[in-house]
Amino acid sequence: MDNKEQAHDLLSLRDAVWVFVAFATAYFLSALLRAITATLSPTLSTEFGLQARDLGLLAGGYFLGFSMTQLPLGHWLDAHGPKKVVLRFLAVAVVGCVAFALSTNFTGLLLSRMLIGAGVSACLMAPLTGYRRWLAPDIQQRANSWMLMTGSFGMLASTLPVQWLLPTIGWRWMFGMLALLLLLAMGLMVIKVPQWRLHAEPKTPEISADKSLDANTDTTPDKPSILASYAQVWRNPYFRRMTPIGFFNYGGLIAMQTLWAGPWMAKVAGYSSLEAAGGLFWINVSMLFTFLMWGLITPKLYIRGLNANRLIMAMTPINLLVQVAIVWAGSDAGALYWALFCISGSVVSLAQPAVGSAFPASEAGKALSGYNLVLFLGVFCVQWGFGLLVDLFRNFGLEQVASFQFAMAVFLILCMVSYLHFVRHKTQR
């Protein structure tokens, strides 16, 4: 896409705000659905007799369904545009919410959860693909951070508000209401999101300002297959550099925030269900303000040469030290510890738009969805794997608190190895 086409696609401030609101509404609901399992875990565990590994699999089912759509999603976004794709996906999420509300066994819950995850899987990738074309480069990072802030609002709503509503309407009617809200979000998108203009494919790849494209990128006008195009994404050295830290550090952050922070506070720190929901509430409040600040300061930091690479390299060790503190403190590691974990780990969120901007605009959808696949496979593996480890250590005779500590120690080691991979591979973007 040449400069004239790019300028033509840029939205006015008023239109950009409305597009952001439309996408943010859907992403709010997506994040609420993602995190709601942490609040509902005591209720679902009691009603369906779930063990730790079952709870981890149920929460991870969302991310498994999410991950299964990522490869075709990127291709569809580049070919058909954000509006058409996200509307069709959200229709699947509506069906998933209704099915979850009607489920009578664990299998039904799991399959419905996977449908929900698949249905909302375009809620972030669609706007990021659109922003890559519709917004000026200097505000794309800000828009991304504020989308994540909107997600924090959704996760905030999944805590105390859900806990307060639960005794009144029950979890089944709650998912029925969420299905209705998704339909309303779809209506807003129909009205406010512009249609996707198709451009001629460039004969040579567009090189980003910081020269992150692999020299082996295909320059022929022929369209590669979906798998071939993703293989091309994988060959990008910057993508490979960011993969482990995306899988374990970023995926693990989401896994802990959306599931295991709650059970840790309840089963390790001794919180009541209401206290655990309150702890999750304040954790998500802290993340809301964290992403707000990232959106405000990242453009200024980037101007000063503090790009995603440097920020991740500088701040990730702080997150690793917080993990050490959580393992060491054990039952004393309450909401404050987990809030610090999430805040210090939020820097890895900068990796996602950085990867997207490392590719031409015409390939941004595939790059972003490819990296999103890495992230959410990481979330699924960490959520389920953490539960498996807790049950494994319990079977070895460890007490509940020690089982959680040892599982957290394994997670810490994996995050450290991923960070070392990031530091070792000096590919610049």
Any idea which residue has 């609420």 for tokens? 32
As a whole number of angstroms, the distance between CA 366 and CA 382 comes to: 24
CA angle 324/330/332 to nearest 5° reads 110
Decide if 129 contacts 364 (C-beta within 8 A): yes
pLDDT higher at 370 or 246: 246
Question: Phi-psi bin for 194: left (phi > 0), alpha (psi -120 to 50), beta?
Answer: beta
Decide if 58 contacts 113 (C-beta within 8 A): yes
pLDDT attached to residue 8: 53
pLDDT digits (tens, 9 = 90+) for 73-98: 877 887 888 899 999 999 999 999 99
| Short-list 87, 91, 109, CA closest to 100 | 109
Token code pair at residue 380: 């699924």
| Short-list 346, 201, 261, CA closest to 59 | 261
pLDDT attached to residue 423: 93
pLDDT attached to residue 210: 43
Burial group, residue 391, by CB count within 10 angstroms (0-12, 13-18, 19+): middle
DSSP letters of 322-369?
Answer: HHHHHHHHGGG--HHHHHHHHHHHGGGGGHHHHHHHTS-GGGHHHHHH
Decide if 96 contacts 118 (C-beta within 8 A): yes
DSSP letters of 28-48?
Answer: HHHHHHHHHHHHHHHHHHHHH
Give residue 109's pLDDT band: very low, low, confident or very high (50, 70, 90). Answer: very high
Q: Rounded mean pLDDT of 268-286?
A: 90
Residue 1 has pLDDT above 70, yes or no: no
Decide if 214 contacts 237 (C-beta within 8 A): yes
pLDDT digits (tens, 9 = 90+) for 40-53: 988 998 899 988 88
Residue 262 has pLDDT above 80, yes or no: yes
Consecutive H or E run containing 7: helix 3-9
User: CB neighbours (10 Å) of residue 283?
Assistant: 29
**Identity of residue 107:** T
**Identity of residue 198:** L
| Short-list 406, 268, 249, CA closest to 318 | 249
Decide if 172 contacts 315 (C-beta within 8 A): no
pLDDT attached to residue 289: 87
| Short-list 222, 254, 289, CA closest to 67 | 254
Domains defined for the chain, CATH in brackets: 3-194+226-424 (1.20.1250.20)
Residue 6 has pLDDT above 60, yes or no: no
pLDDT attached to residue 427: 62
Burial group, residue 323, by CB count within 10 angstroms (0-12, 13-18, 19+): buried
Decide if 66 contacts 96 (C-beta within 8 A): no
pLDDT higher at 366 or 107: 107
As a whole number of angstroms, the distance between CA 145 and CA 349 comes to: 8
